[in-house]
Amino acid sequence: MDRYLDFILNHYILSLALAVVTYLLIQELFDTAFKKFNAVSPLLAVAKMNDSDTLVIDVREPSEFIHNHIEQSINMPLGKLPEELAKIAEHKTKPVLISCKTGTRSASAAKLLTKAGFEQVFVITGGMDAWENDYKLPIKITSKQKTKTNPSA
């Protein structure tokens, strides 16, 4: 036991780094074990959109949203999402799909929505990158003059 204590005192930076990494790993384990939202592939997201009254929220910034987005999705940037929750309160019991560019911001938005009482929250894995490039699903492009659909889809 004395050798462990000597090691910790002599290598305090390594010991601190080990403690921080261990804490972060445990926190991530608990977050994934107790999360109240699910991840769905873009194809399953399309099936959910076709089967029910599903709300699709794009949490990217408006400048990203106009370049490409899912048809009938609404833009609610992640930074403004807590203020916008009242606008979508009627969807608390209905399926809500969340998209972003790669799926990272979607997870944060899903945590916000589940804390706000939304029951069926789904994150689209891979975000719009997977939607458009991997699965080649249709997108909508909005410009200042007109709205058009993706000609390659």
Give the pLDDT confidence of 38-87 residue by residue, as tens digits.
999 999 999 999 988 999 999 999 999 999 999 999 999 999 999 999 99
Q: For the segment 107-139, what is each residue's pLDDT rounded down to a tens digit? A: 999 999 999 999 999 999 999 999 999 999 999
Express each pLDDT in 76-112 by its tens digit.
Answer: 999 999 999 999 999 999 999 999 999 999 999 999 9
Between 147 and 87, the more confident residue is: 87
Q: For residue 87, how far is the Cα from the chain centroid?
A: 19
Structure tokens at 115: 């804390």
Q: What is the DSSP letter of 132?
A: I
* Cβ contacts of 141 within 8 Å, gap of 6 or more: 66, 67, 68, 147, 148, 149, 150
pLDDT at 124: 96
* Known catalytic residue at 100: yes
Question: Catalytic residue among 45, 49, 88, 100, which?
Answer: 100
